[in-house]
Amino acid sequence: MEVVERILDSLDQPDSTLESLWSKEADDRLAAYRRGEIKTLALSEVIAKYAVANKRTKLASLAIGATG
């Protein structure tokens, strides 16, 4: 149990390098949006896209389970 606790504790530690990279990525994406280089999607479109992908994944899992 101690190993699990140590792993979980390590995951809670902030990583300044990772934070910096994500901050730069967010800034770059916002700048690209403001320049008109990327477009936005409605939340409903994003949810629908991933709902379909999730359904396909579940169906594939069921198909594999039925043959395996």
State residue 37's pLDDT score: 98
Q: What is the pLDDT of residues 26-54, one digit of tens each?
A: 999 999 999 999 999 999 999 999 998 88
- Is the confidence at residue 68, as pLDDT, over 60? no
Record the pTM. Answer: 0.52
- Higher-confidence residue of 13 and 51: namely 51
68 vs 60: CA distance, rounded Å: 12
In the chain, where the domains are located: 1-37, 40-68
State residue 35's pLDDT score: 98
